Structure 1
Amino acid sequence: MMSEDLWKILGIPEKTSVHLFQHGDSLHIGPLIGVFTAGFTKDSMRPIGERSMYFAKLMTAARKCGAFAFVFGAHQVDFKDQSIKGLMYNKKGWKQVKVPLPDVVYDRLPNRSSESLEQVASTRHKLQSQYLIPWFNPSFFDKWKVFEKLQEDDAVRHYLPGTILNPKQETLAKMLEEYEQIYIKPANGSLGLGIQQILKPANENYYYCRFRTGKENRLRSYSSLSRLIKQQYPSGKLDGFIVQQGIDLHKINQRPMDYRVHTNKNKDGKWEVSAIAAKIAGEGSLTTHTSSEGTVKTLNELVTDYGFSKDYEKSLSEAALKLSHSLDDKIPGFIGEFGFDLGITKNDEIYLFEANSKPGRSIFGHKRLKAEEMSTRVLPMEYAIHLAKSAIEKALVHHR
């Protein structure tokens, strides 16, 4: 029971069932979850552009879990007033609301360039350091740093393909001799952009380079490796790139495939696997991204339509959980989710190609992954409640 005046003073956004945290004679109503992002538009129907629908679903998931959630950007924080003009979503659509500073923040910045903006970085730093707000999924990963951290861990080292930073031409030649195919990737890249595959079959004299320009998959042949590098990398240097051993992957109709595995922390702050799907490369494509005409299949479809083993689900889940624990131990700050790209060889060995701190959601276009899609929205909200609860209880004890 609460008077209307008190309701307004406390800045409670709307009537809905939420948590009450009690410690002695202190009561905390909430929690208030802020979802931090960038890329706002003037469109009141789609205030965060193409991603508006995803954020709307996230708000709905928060309500289901018994929390208030809102979306905000760095430009909407008023530190003088200690309030935020954020966006909330309900059945009637989006509305702007003035709320107090949140109990916890879920970081969903869309890309590295928004992350490096001065206003974004300083807002994040201030909310974390001065207001001690727990902030999870704080930054994008550098592929090489992730590789180095996992390399130190005996429990997961065997999942790593041979990888070298800033490779020289001699290194590429040596790796091609050993593996016949290699991948060159920007250490800071994402979404498969800038990846090139080089192939040198043992019984051929030519080097082949597979890459993508615009919306087209390309394949070029070269009589020598130095010609290939000169043409594909005009600076002649591969600084800021990593080279990775090519893996002979599972194939369907001659097209290689890998697996996307999502892991999330749950309401108890423990890791669990929330989604697994197979991604099959598009024709002539060097990656399995849906943006390069890749297709998504559920593990069930692989078993029923293509005769794959049911055991893959268990081994992929096991690998993803081990990798989640390992990275969580080594990376500072709170992490609530990962998206792993894993490959399985013909000999059933599992390799990690990439670990994503803010995993894309393209696999959820598949109509049979509805439950998993829902799970990957509900779990971050449950983990946010877990973090907020811990922080609130600490603060209440300290206050008393």
Structure 2
Amino acid sequence: MRKHYRIEIAPNNQQIVFCPSSILKGEAINKIAFGSKSTEVHFFPHPDKSDRIVLSKAIQEALSLPDLAVPMHVFLDKQTLHIGPLIGIFTAGFTPFPAQPMGERTQLFTKLLSVKNSGALPFVFGEQHIDWEQGLINGFFYHKNTWQTFDVPFPNVIYDRLPNRKSERNPKLIKVKEKLQKDYLIPWYNPGFFNKLDVYERLQQDGLAANFLPETIPFTSFSLIETMLAKYGHVYIKPKNGSLGLGVHQIIYDKHTGEYFCRYQDEDFVNRLRKFSSLEKLFPNVFATQRLDKMLVQQGIHLLRHEKRPVDFRVHTNKDEEGKWQVTAIAAKIAGLGSVTTHKRSGGDIKTLEEIFLGEENALYTEKLSHAALLLSEALEHNIEGIIGEIGFDLGIDRNGDVWLFEANSKPGRSIFNHPDLEEFDLLTRKLTLAFAIFITEQSILHPEELFK
């Protein structure tokens, strides 16, 4: 467990830092750094042997260090004492309203920045808050139950929380990301949204991960769907870059009557089930406004059911303070009546595994889902570019007890944490998000060759 140190500001202009002798260890330290800023100082051990680091007002100003009385970590390298880390959370969609600076996403960031005793200083910013000439960012900090802004240096690490694929494709934001990564060598984690087909193709190359993959193919023709329907009885057609279950269609073939059924949610969010005599009639009616070349076809799985409704599972994994994967939350998602997905918007329900499975069955499914999620996390990390710190998996279990991967999300939604029994896991995911940022900071300072290899 890394130790935190309280930072105090003394009202003088001396270039002197008092800190515990346990930090100094007789080393010849002559600089102190916070984020991208540093200044030369003289170090002296604390006369009272306390665990405080005391800086002068002049040093505080030179470092652009907000006086927020937040305990922080220290990292010692090349005669420099780094305090922090300063964690930048990069996003878009800011508003002019002080109480809701990130609009409807403000609550998400409020909860993340409210994690106690993390030993880090996180803030939220967008491209418009960067002053490239001064090397400063006018960042949003959540302190004493209110949002405040401070000018701070460029951070030690950046956590990508862009809200959607549209913002991710914005040329201005792409340029900012590249500049901070390449020119300033700032580690950037969870760097982009996953593409379903890309994830599938990369995981197929991994022997163990491939066992969890349902057959998934880009849409090319009706004959492809006929072949898969003959093989599996039903298939899913979904957008390659979709999210929140939008645009997902289930096609079912009744071999006794020769009829085709399509289950989906229409533009008014009404669950629909329609019957057709052929695929040639189904497609012009159901997919009239959709580009089929942007769709993929996925094997249908006969899922476990609860009260006659299909169940799938959201499993969150996070990297911890040692850079190792942990399963941080598991929830069951039960499909709404007549719904093609388990999303709440379609009438779905969130349950804990204890609510739907008893005793040994609960333990068995928890173990199977955890094992699959950890194995898939490792496989994705090895097969996808960038630093990944969290993943939200949508997994299914079929009637034979086999686990299947439906989707992996690099920026997982957090709706499962509205369940009162999952609140502690919500907190755990937030704690580990910051803990992993601390780990990355330590790596970038002490072992950059490992991080950037």
Shorter-chain TM band: over 0.9
Shift of 1:308: 4.3
Name the CA distance, whole Å, in 2 between partners of 1:262 and 1:138. 17
Structure 2: how far apart are the matches of 1:148 and 1:235? 27
User: What residue in structure 1 maps to residue 33 of structure 2?
Assistant: none
Q: Which residue of 2 aligns with 1:158?
A: 211
Matched, 1:138 2:191: yes
Judge conservation of contact 2:72–2:121 (CA < 8 Å) in 1.
yes
Q: Secondary structure at the match of 2:114?
A: helix
1:89 lines up with 2:142 in the alignment: yes
The alpha-carbon deviation at position 23 of structure 1 amounts to 2.4
Instruction: Pick from 318, 321, 325 the counterpart of residue 264 of structure 1.
Output: 318
The answer for the alignment partner of 1:187 in structure 2 is 240
- Structure 1 runs of 4+ with >3 Å offset: 306-309
**In the TM superposition, what are the counterparts of 1:319-358 in structure 2 within 5 Å?**
319-358=372-411
- Alpha-carbon distance in structure 2 between the residues aligned to 1:268 and 1:236: 45
Structure 2 counterparts to residues 72-221 of structure 1, below 5 A: 72-213=125-266, 214-221=268-275
Q: CA deviation at 1:7?
A: 1.0
**Amino acid corresponding to residue 100 of structure 2 in structure 1:** R
Instruction: Kindly tell me the number of residue pairs found equivalent between the two proteins.
Output: 394
Q: Give the stretch that moved more between structures: 273-282 or 203-212.
A: 203-212
Q: Secondary structure of 2:292's partner?
A: coil
Residue equivalent to 1:293: 347
| Match in the other structure for 1:52 | 106
1:29 aligns with 2:86: no
Structure 1, residues 131-168: CA drift from partner, whole Å, max 9, x if none?
Answer: 00000000001100100011111111111111111231
1:40 equivalent to 2:40? Answer no
Using structure 2 for the length normalisation, give the TM-score.
Answer: 0.84
Say whether residues 1:253 and 2:312 are aligned partners. no
Percentage of matched positions with identical amino acids: 46
Q: In the alignment, does 2:288 pair up with 1:234?
A: yes
TM-score, structure 1 as length reference: 0.95
RCO greater where, 1 or 2, for CA within 8 Å and sep 6 or more? 1
CA positional deviation for 1:115: 0.7
Alpha-carbon distance in structure 2 between the residues aligned to 1:44 and 1:185 = 39
Name stretches of at least 5 consecutive residues in structure 1 with no aligned partner: 396-400
Does the CA-based 8 Å contact 1:258-1:343 persist in structure 2?
Answer: yes
Please say if residues 187 and 241 of structure 1, whose CA atoms lie closer than 8 Å, have aligned partners that are also in contact: yes
Structure 1 residue 319 displacement after superposition: 0.3
Cα distance in 1 between the residues matched to 2:289 and 2:124: 42
Q: Which moved more, 1:351-360 or 1:163-172?
A: 163-172
The runs of 5 or more residues in structure 2 that have no matched partner are 1-53, 449-453
Task: Return 200-209 or 306-315, whichever deviates more.
Answer: 306-315
1:19 is matched with which residue?
73
Aligned-partner Cα distance in 1 for 2:290–2:168: 30
Query: C-alpha distance in 2, partners of 1:179/1:341?
Result: 20
RMSD of aligned Cα (Å):
1.6
Cα distance between partner residues in 2 of 1:87 and 1:328: 30
